[in-house]
Structure 1
């Protein structure tokens, strides 16, 4: 049995751009955005825990081959997809990636269907900062940034940059100042994250909640998984989306 066999396949289209989606669960909505190379077994495993807590989880497949692991060939193919697609940006400063339009639409659609206070969203590595872009113009009330790694941290400016246009940064700042908290996770010596946590602290103050672990590993929720990090994300979703009174998933 494949890891995605229990998930319902679908798709979402915005402005002529279509991406596959996988959906499972009941309860408040959470969008789980995969990292490079794609919807790996580890990403699916994390998403299953979010489902078990009492959430409707939607996993978009933005690039890569769903269900495949972190092999060299699979990773290289995913990177090629990212580099040639106009939806993504690798080095742009002060710019929001075009894929944010698609992700915001997905969040709006899920919220319109399920109702409630809003949806949760978690991005990882290459997609980590996309959750902030969603927060700027979508009903995201539980944003999680796991080791945000774009723009690629080449040079001091890119190491600090949050991957947002000035207008989107203003919109995010307004929502955070109004009380929306942002959760971030990283290994402290992970060079791919650059200096973004310092920027997040400066921009959002106490409403940025940093969960940091010693070491130079990278994928806090998947390949280099820290159970404490997973638990903090699940608790954040439960508190912000109204599932805190439900029984925690067995592990």
Structure 2
């Protein structure tokens, strides 16, 4: 009886897949850093290739064009932050036993995200700056924000409606607009507050932001949504 031949080893194939995945991470990290500093239009595929240390033609093996690369950079960490924020919001609503507060909901949404930037180091802060750029891009930013972030934002709004049963839809959404505006300015790390405050505040001090933002924004929500006798527009 002839010997049974061993099944072909999958080790070389696995190593190749691991090498490809590792190279992809290197490309995404490099692109993330460059996009965070120079924006979508200030970076080329060749710039990314040079940062990674590969020939620029290899970039076309992984990505069709620069916009595809940018979208991949955004999607990679969006998946992480959305899972964590959704879980935090669900846990908060369950713990509130039907009586959520505005600040409690905002802390579940904002603090969970800020913790990623505090604990994740410079790479996560680079990603934060990319998100801030997307939010401020009038031509294509809204579509990407909708694609990646609208479900978790609407989950927050759902809880805020319960915390503010007398608040109008318009007031709640305008108040959220102001929250996200402040958050995006924070994520951009422009350095302006450093100069204005003469060093009392730092743009990259996300722990200080976490300590204050939800409390500040909750007061705004309550003030806007509980106004009495306001002029109807």
TM-score (norm 2): 0.34
* Larger relative contact order (Cα-Cα within 8 Å, sequence gap ≥ 6): 2
TM-score (norm 1): 0.32
Instruction: Determine which structure has the larger strand proportion and give its number.
Output: 1
